[in-house]
Amino acid sequence: MQNVNQLLADAHQAKLEGNAGLALQLYLQALSLHPSELSLQIVCGNLCVELQRFEEAAGHFRRILSASNKNNEARKALCYALQELGNQAHRNGNFTQAEACFEEITQHQPGNAVYWYNLGNAQRELGKPQAALQSFKKSIQLEPNDADAHNNLGNVQRELGMLDKAIASYEKALQLNPNLHHALAHLVHQKQHICDWQDLDAQIAQLRDLVKIYPSGKISPFAFLAMPGTTAQEQKTCASNWANQLYKDLARDPIDIGLQASKSKDKKLKIGYLSADFRLHPLAFLITELIEKHDRNQFEITAYSYGKDDKTSARKRLIKAFDRFIDITNLNDIGATKKINQDEIDILVDLTGYTQSSRTGIVALKPAAIHINWLGFPGTMGEIVGNLASESLFDYLLADKTIAPNAADFSEKLLYLPCYQPNDSQRPIGKSTTKTANNLPKNSFVFCCFNQTFKITSEVFAVWMRLLKQAPNSVLWLLECNPWAKANLQRQAENEDININRLIFAPRVAIAEHLARHVHADLFLDTLPYNAHTTASDALFMRLPLLTCTGNTFASRVATSLLLSIHLPELITNSLHDYEKKALYFTQNPDKLEQLKQKLSSKVGESALFKPTLFARNLEQQYLHIWAKLCDKVK
């Protein structure tokens, strides 16, 4: 048995010489000989902290507290180690460990607001909004003037559908810190969701200025897309600001993930699709049949899913459609990146982008040879600014020449398809109902818009109200998204001297039932600057004419792309004045509208828009093209 005194002397000398690693090793040897010696636990714990081995440090401090529960110095040291470990875990995407750390800390120091705040952040990332709600409330109770806590409470309230409370939380955050720019973006977007347009123009103008002036502002790119007046270049700047804030370090120093897949033109290409939305979601009604139709002689198709398994038939069909369906929910970004790389994925296609549950950090770590932005986010994902040059977060964006006419508006290289949006020709359609069953007057002309309410702007709604005035027998059929939007739209209609009973709100129902009720509408009125996307395809699939107004951004040109694809340019306008005029024309000329419906009905069967096999071949040609280009470059 080694002499303990000699071990301690050598450990002390190593510590004096700055060799903390050797000192710890020697102290641990001494501790193994005298495990009940608390002074050795203390010195080992402190050295572990110095070496940033926080999990080991926490173990030493726990043992001290187990032996002496009133040792406040050990308690304080334990909390410090757990805080550092929790923060480290959160940065690495290990939110389960982060939650455990901060839960343990709050048991020792329940009066510390920061610990409750950090606990709430971890719980939110784990999809535990109710628990996060209580943690943020506790944090605010302890520190009422923390603007970040109010903002994050608002985020959870938003996710729980408590939009009125979320707005109040964002307003409180901005009252405490007017420079909390991301809170302003959240506030504006939720006001759009509830159709509260008061002061909105001024707040959007402020955000547009902030995007240009403050690259570190972290203004949500998705929220920014829907804000009237924003240009394609501003949206690009906003996305790049976001990418730099969240992913610059990852892009600059990606993890060592070994050799990439072999670069051969003759190989069977491995395509990976990354998404949170492989479930009962609009994405499923776009891509499922496309996945089924991929040519398995040339491609191996893998799903990387990190969203909830909702156990629906849509989920089950998607699982069956892919060659491999891999759930990466419990992997952090580094773990997911390593998994995708180990699978030797050649082309990784992100179908989520900067939407809910985004995990763009996986792409920033570069797990595949080629990375593509497609479908989930209607815009560019931005670029990372380096010391010498800028680099796009993604290599390519799948688009078409209608939605993306100007390459300069995008950080990615553009890959053009005839139409960027795929469609499932097997959409489920429920049993037909009556107008009366949908609360629609029997002999009325039905304008409809089943877009989410955040897409309805004051300018577009004013057009709709003028149409109702000029077409006295008409009603406006809208999707009932939330009670605050319904009340605000009714109030605005009353201000325009429109009877609120002429606004009919359709409750959310199953997709088959929703598609079936389209037959009772006469004309779908699109929104601007954020068009109907999947909603537009639903309408056209059900032979419902959709009238759009073309804007200058990706999100404002999608319906135009779909209408051109289905050969119905007569439903495209280039100004709200012409949009209003054409909508009124159809109310006054029902025979012309009927002719248009007949034309649409024939085009649905003929158009490539609802032919997934043809879409798959066009898409695969692009995959083969960029792969061949990469192989030539490698040579």
Instruction: Tell me the CATH architecture of domain 269-424+614-634.
Output: 3-Layer(aba) Sandwich (3.40)
C-alpha distances in angstroms, 301 versus 271, 278, 281, 310, 620? Answer: 5, 14, 20, 22, 12
Residue 546 to residue 526: CA distance in whole angstroms = 7
The pLDDT value recorded for residue 319 is: 97
Domains 269-424+614-634 and 436-610 share a fold: yes
Q: Which residue has the tokens 């139409």?
A: 419
Average pLDDT over residues 175-182: 96
- Give per-residue pLDDT as tens, 345-382: 999 999 999 998 899 999 999 999 999 999 999 999 99
Q: What DSSP line would sit under 29-69, residue for residue? A: HHHHHSTT-HHHHHHHHHHHHHTT-HHHHHHHHHHHHHH-T
pLDDT in tens, 123-161: 999 999 999 999 999 999 999 999 999 999 999 999 999
**pLDDT for 30:** 60
User: Cis link prior to 529 (omega < 30° from 0)?
Assistant: yes
Mean per-residue pLDDT for 244-272?
77
Question: What is the C-alpha radius of gyration for the chain, rounded to an integer number of angstroms?
Answer: 28
Q: Does domain 436-610 have CATH number 3.40.50.2000?
A: yes
Q: Residue 1: what pLDDT?
A: 43
Query: Rounded to whole angstroms, how far apart are CA atoms 37 and 33?
Result: 9
Which residue in 382, 359, 121 sits closest to 235, CA to CA?
Answer: 382
User: pLDDT value at position 389?
Assistant: 65
- Indicate whether 322 pLDDT > 70: yes
Domain boundaries, the chain: 179-253, 269-424+614-634, 436-610
Is the pLDDT at 388 greater than 80? The verdict is no
Give the ranges where 382-506 is alpha helix by DSSP (H).
458-470, 483-495
